[in-house]
Amino acid sequence: MTTAISYPLPPAVVEATVAAIRFDANGLVPAIAQQHDTGEVLMMAWMNAQSVAESLTTGRACYWSRSRQSFWRKGDTSGQVQHLRELRVDCDGDTLLLLVDQVGVACHTGRRSCFYRAAAPDGLSTIADVVTDPLVLYPPHAHDHQAP
């Protein structure tokens, strides 16, 4: 689905990309993470200008955690890193799509994708199994219980 891009991208490209994004009143933009080869939508999180620049420079998906109000380099706690393949900007510049190579699982419940509940005739049903025990992702002795 994507050609391999080497990171860091040149600073001028990073700057032009950030400039093309319309961040909201809180300085954030929603970012969809999609597994680059299978097309599976893994999660949605938020980025600020710093996390966009960090992602395009390091080649690793970095977000802004609204709940913790902090920079969130995905996988730092859980090891479930997202290697960035390509960052795309939508027509209005107000949503991003990240094509990634997800190590392990994207969801803090230990499922591959966060979208594991579907509205079906018999109710809102769980359609994906837990792949990794969340206790393995976040051992009780872990210093900082972050999302994956």
| Interface with a copy of itself (CB under 8 A) | 5-6, 9-10, 12-14, 16-17, 20, 30, 32, 34, 38-41, 43-44, 56, 86-92, 95, 97, 107-109, 111, 114-124, 127
Beta carbon nearer to a copy of itself, 16 or 142: 16
Least CB distance from residue 53 to a copy of itself, whole Å?
11
Helices 11-20, 49-58: inter-axial angle, 10-degree rounding: 140
For a copy of itself, give the closer residue by CB, 34 or 78: 34
CB of 71 or CB of 115, closer to a copy of itself: 115
CB of 85 to a copy of itself, least distance (A): 10
62 is in an annotated binding site: no
Smallest gap from residue 42 Cβ to a copy of itself (A) = 10
d(CA 83, CA 88): 15
CB atoms within 10 A of CB 32: 16
CA distances (Å), origin 145, targets 28, 42, 69, 77 = 23, 20, 14, 7
Detail the DSSP E strand segments found in 1-146: 29-35, 41-47, 62-65, 70-73, 82-89, 96-102, 117-120, 123-126
Min dist. Cβ of residue 10 to a copy of itself (A): 7
Q: Binding site: residue ranges?
A: 90-92, 94, 107, 114
